[in-house]
Amino acid sequence: MKIYTVLLAATALSSAAASPAIAHDRQPTSTEQLEELRAQMEALIARVDQLEGELADAEAQAEAANAAAAEASAAALAANAAAGEANETAIAAKTKAESAPKIAFKGTPEISTSGGWKFKPRGRLQYDTGFVSAPSSTAADDGWDTDVRRARLGFSGDMPGGFGFKFEIDVANSDLAVTDAIISYEAGDVDLSVGQFNNFQSLEELTSSLHTSFIERAAFTDAFGFVRRVGVGATYGSGDVLVQAGLFSDNMDELSNNEWSADGRVVFMPKLGDAQLHLGGSVHYRELGSDATTRYRQRPLVGFANDRFINTGNFSAESEFSYGLESAIVSGPLHAVVEGHWMNASRPDMLGDPTFFGGYAEVGYFLTSGDTRGYKGGKFDRTKPANPVGEGGIGSIQINARYDRLDLNDAGIIGGTQDGYFLSLVWKPTDYTMLLANYGKLDYSDAVFPTASGSTDYSVDVFGMRAQIDF
């Protein structure tokens, strides 16, 4: 660039020097004109030097800008790589968090995973105490007593693929017994169960002992032998309809034998505004086997009573057929239940076939605001106090009244009748704790224990209390 400038200046000077000679023959140029031309050339050279400097500065700036752009591009690439690594780390952390076990607390920890696994330890402890007061001349075993009514431990859970399990043992009074031992499978609206569990009979029987309104269930449930049995069952539930059916052998403690039974139950459970309605019925058949005997009997309200005041004694029977009707309503703090069950025993050798009856009518009311009796899946469920102890409230307080009848007299079998009039007071401080007290007056006809005068018609007073916790 500098050489080009010098050549340009030299060419201009040469032209200027030659001009006078050329113009000599014409009109000679003055000295002032030459000086002016030189001044213009010098200015031109100065301007060229300035432009070259500016061009050099621009080139330097461009090189600096290119270097900065390269550095920025490298930084951007590094940032993108770091962001990608961070995103991959976040995705891995999220995946790990989602697959990690989650723990909820429902009385005890319930562990679950996104893969369909669930596990929960479970149990209950019920302490009962109270008294039975019978006419002294009957020599019945009455008075004050205490009982560990139930002391259960077990676990339940789910497995991938829709499978589930439940296992519980009862160690009350140091006697070991298996209660529930179930393998289940859920397929849409159908649940299949294999193992030992409650047969499909009676709203009162299928309601857990944790959620009953009296210290013991209605008299007919024990009298008619409603116990858990080993078998297979299916439950269909959709909307307001529940259908249950199963085939069973006997209780796990009684296996093996040649007894079998079949059960079916249907429940219609619509909502009427805010009220829950329950209408149901069940049928049952049990084959007792050859040379079998059976008997029907019941204690007076409490489980710790040793004597039964009504008892058919053993008699021969080949099979049993029974059916029951259920109705209930839960509306706010009020609930009402009416249930009846008829048991027919088929006897051999042209003997008469007796039909026995048991049933009850109950009404209950919560004295605490916002509380109602729980209901779920065709049976009564857990009551959850609206204002539990520990959260500024006193829990739920409920009063209940019940009339209970059991008639074991028919077709020449004299087992007696029992009419019970019961009151109960239930306090639930929290979801998983309960204190219960109930009183019963039972009127007997044809009782097992006669008085000194030979009378078998008299009354027995019963009082019971329970302290309960479950998880």
Check whether 15 has a pLDDT greater than 70.
Answer: no
Q: How many CB atoms lie within 10 A of CB 469?
A: 15
Structure confidence at residue 97 (pLDDT) = 63
pLDDT for the residue 19: 46
**Cα atoms in the 13 Å half-sphere on the side-chain side of 349:** 5
Answer yes or no: are the C-beta atoms of 396 and 428 closer than 8 Å.
yes
Of residues 5 and 202, more confidently modeled: 202
Instruction: Look up residue 37 and give its DSSP letter.
Output: H
Please give the pLDDT value at position 88. Answer: 82
Comparing C-alpha atoms, which of 290, 296, 238, 244 is closest to residue 266?
244
Nearest in space to 428 (alpha carbons), one of 458, 386, 381: 386
More confident residue, 33 or 292: 292
The span from the first CA to the last CA of the chain, in angstroms, equals: 96
CA-wise closest residue to 435 among 464, 463, 465? 465
CATH (residue range 125-140+201-222+234-470): 2.40.160.10
> Is the Cα dihedral 442, 399, 107, 238 positive or negative?
positive
Strand partners, 412: none
Domain extent listing, the chain: 2-84, 125-140+201-222+234-470
Beta bridge partners of 277: 329
Confidence category of residue 241, pLDDT binned at 50, 70, 90: very high
Give the residue-averaged pLDDT of 232-242.
98
Confidence of residue 260 (pLDDT cuts 50, 70, 90): very high
Instruction: Return the higher-pLDDT residue of 318 and 15.
Output: 318
Q: What is the CA radius of gyration of the chain?
A: 47
| Amino acid at the residue 347 | R
Count of CB atoms situated within 10 Å of the CB of 288: 20
d(CA 459, CA 98): 63
Share of the chain above pLDDT 90, in %: 73
Q: Mean pLDDT score of the chain, rounded to an integer?
A: 91
Contact 143, 131 (CB under 8 A): yes
Half-sphere exposure of 194 (CA within 13 A, CB side): 4
Stretch among 103-112, 229-238, 338-347, 367-376 having the lowest mean pLDDT: 103-112
129, pLDDT greater than 80: yes
Q: Regarding predicted confidence, which is higher, 173 or 294?
A: 294
Asked if the model's pLDDT at residue 98 lies above 70, the reply is no
User: Which of 66-75, 326-335, 341-350 has the weakest average pLDDT?
Assistant: 66-75
In this prediction, residue 50 carries a pLDDT of 82
Q: How far apart are CA 390 and CA 283, in angstroms?
A: 45
Cα distances (angstroms) measured from residue 460 to each of 20, 213, 438, 442, 444: 157, 21, 14, 5, 8
**24 confidence band (pLDDT: 50, 70, 90):** very low
Distance of CA 202 to the CA centre of its chain: 23
**Stretch 385-393: mean pLDDT:** 96
- Averaged pLDDT, 182-209: 97
**pLDDT band (50, 70, 90) for residue 95:** low
* Residue 20: per-residue pLDDT: 45
